[in-house]
Amino acid sequence: MNLNLLRGTARWSAAVAGATAGAAALLLLATSATAATGPRPHSRKPTVVLVHGAFADSSSWNGVIERLRREGYPVLAAANPLRGLADDAAYVRSVLESVDGPIVLAGHSYGGSVISEAADGNPNVKALVYVSSFQLEVGESTAELADKFPGNELGAALREVPLPGGTGKDLYIKNEEFQRVFAADVPRGETQLMAATQRPITEAALSDKATKAAWKTIASWHLIARQDLAVPPESMRFMAKRANAHIVEVNASHAVAVSEPRAVADLIDKAGRTVTK
């Protein structure tokens, strides 16, 4: 019998046993530490859905989106058709139905009229944010509230484009008036691009009467732009106070999401922080 071989084997077995015991001790220590601290909680923020208004498109939210995403919010900017209140609300409603979990729904300008309709009856919509916007009561129209108080200079700045077959009119802001009435605090070069790429709204959409007022059952926030020449600030105050909305005012034009994206994102974040996950 080779005693040296036996002694070598014994030494190897002892080393393996020691290493195994050490690894077990380390595993036990790691497990104990994990149990003591617990797993890191995963807090999922609500999805923010943004709805633009007339004479704009989803890119008008870009500065807001960047800030919200840095805060951890999933964000979706819907393309508002701007064809009519019922159809526009139906489209946004379908977008909302595609989102899992709680939603903070924000609308700018005419987009506010749309979100009040679209959110009605959707249990996932937990907060409404109106950004220099219309917060209509049932039976009211966007045009009616735009003219309820002095200060609306948009009407005279519009140009009409007849729709095919005499079915109505599309409305655009005249390029030479765009910065003054819509985006006075946005650099001229940027407003020229905004004017050139603006999306029209049908005349009928502005006259369509609201059939829903989701803000009656869903908490709301309203950002009022004090220098707005499209939606008179007094009109926004009237609507926001009537709805018992949380109100914030900023010195900005109607294009406040472009000129003051931080203020808009901060208000949406405040609404988002109230949402129960």
Angle at 201 between CA 197 and CA 171, to 5 degrees: 80
Instruction: Report whether 142 contacts 246 (CB < 8 A).
Output: no
Whether the predicted pLDDT of 145 surpasses 80: yes
Averaged pLDDT, 119-138 = 99
- The first and second tokens of residue 207, run together, are 């006259």
pLDDT of residue 44: 87
Say whether 173 sits in a helix, a strand or coil. strand
d(CA 234, CA 226): 9
The model's confidence at residue 277, banded by pLDDT at 50, 70 and 90, is low
- In terms of CATH, what superfamily is 47-273? Alpha/Beta hydrolase fold, catalytic domain (3.40.50.1820)
d(CA 146, CA 83): 18
Contacts of 205 (CB under 8 A, 6+ apart): 54, 82, 83, 84, 85, 88, 110, 142
The domains of the chain are located at: 47-273
Averaged pLDDT, 237-256 = 99
Whether the predicted pLDDT of 271 surpasses 60: yes
Q: Give rounded-to-5 percent helix, strand, coil for the chain.
A: 50, 20, 35
d(CA 180, CA 182): 6
Name the DSSP letter for residue 46. P
List, in sequence order, every residue forming a beta bridge with 44; answer none if it has no partner.
none
Contacts of 150 (CB under 8 A, 6+ apart): 232, 234
The model's confidence at residue 201, banded by pLDDT at 50, 70 and 90, is very high
Whether the predicted pLDDT of 123 surpasses 50: yes
- The first and second tokens of residue 155, run together, are 């009407």
The model's confidence at residue 121, banded by pLDDT at 50, 70 and 90, is very high
Rounded to the nearest integer, the mean pLDDT of the chain is 89
- Give the residue from 116, 113, 7 showing the smallest Cα distance to 54: 113
What pTM was computed for the model?
Answer: 0.84
d(CA 168, CA 161): 9
Averaged pLDDT, 64-73 = 98
List, in sequence order, every residue forming a beta bridge with 223; answer none if it has no partner.
131, 248
